């Protein structure tokens, strides 16, 4: 019984101490800032992938448009940027492409994929001084949309 009372007194004392000194405790770190810091240590560049058309479709040219920023979030020009496109989880081979700079951190190249599904886009950027970074992004390729007008059910198509 005495141990139980002693344990309750200790817990109550610790709780009182924590409540009284709450303002002295450091604020929890900003998780977004931590993620940016870790990414900055892993790669000096950030990549954003867009495609034309959006969404990309198979058996037609797809423009890969990659926006590259440096660790400070500024557009990164003058880089050698390459992409390797391969189907996620499949061994259909990979397509290697060199992207050409368009200015303001934008790089483009055309690729053509053979089937619908998830595709990996492994990007690498390298500065002349040797600083490089890479990242794997994904794109979902869909079937091409047919450019037909919807059928009018009132029309006779027996001709």
**For the chain, which residues make up each domain, given as ranges?**
44-141
The confidence band for 137, taking pLDDT boundaries of 50, 70 and 90, is: very high
pTM over 0.75: no
Per-residue model confidence (pLDDT) at position 147: 42
The string of pLDDT tens digits covering residues 79-134 is 999 999 999 887 777 999 999 999 999 999 999 998 899 999 999 999 988 889 99
The CA distance from 96 to 124, in Å, is: 11
CATH of the domain spanning 44-141, picked from 1.10.3720.10, 2.60.40.10, 3.40.50.12780, 2.40.50.140: 2.60.40.10
The string of pLDDT tens digits covering residues 32-44 is 666 656 655 567 8
């Amino acid at each position: 019984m005495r141990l139980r009372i002693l344990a309750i007194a200790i817990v109550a004392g610790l709780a009182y101490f924590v409540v009284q000194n709450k303002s002295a405790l450091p604020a929890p770190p900003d998780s977004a800032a931590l993620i940016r810091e870790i990414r900055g240590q892993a790669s000096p560049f950030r990549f954003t992938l867009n495609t034309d058309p959006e969404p990309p479709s198979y058996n037609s040219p797809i423009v890969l448009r990659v926006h590259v920023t440096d660790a400070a979030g500024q557009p990164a020009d003058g880089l050698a940027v390459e992409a390797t496109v391969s189907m996620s989880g499949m061994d259909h081979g990979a397509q290697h492409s060199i992207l050409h700079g368009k200015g303001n951190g934008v790089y483009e190249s055309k690729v053509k994929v053979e089937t619908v599904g998830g595709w990996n886009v492994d990007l690498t950027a390298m500065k002349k001084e040797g600083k490089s970074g890479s990242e794997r992004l994904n794109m979902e390729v869909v079937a091409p949309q047919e450019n037909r007008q919807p059928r009018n059910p009132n029309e006779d198509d027996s001709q």
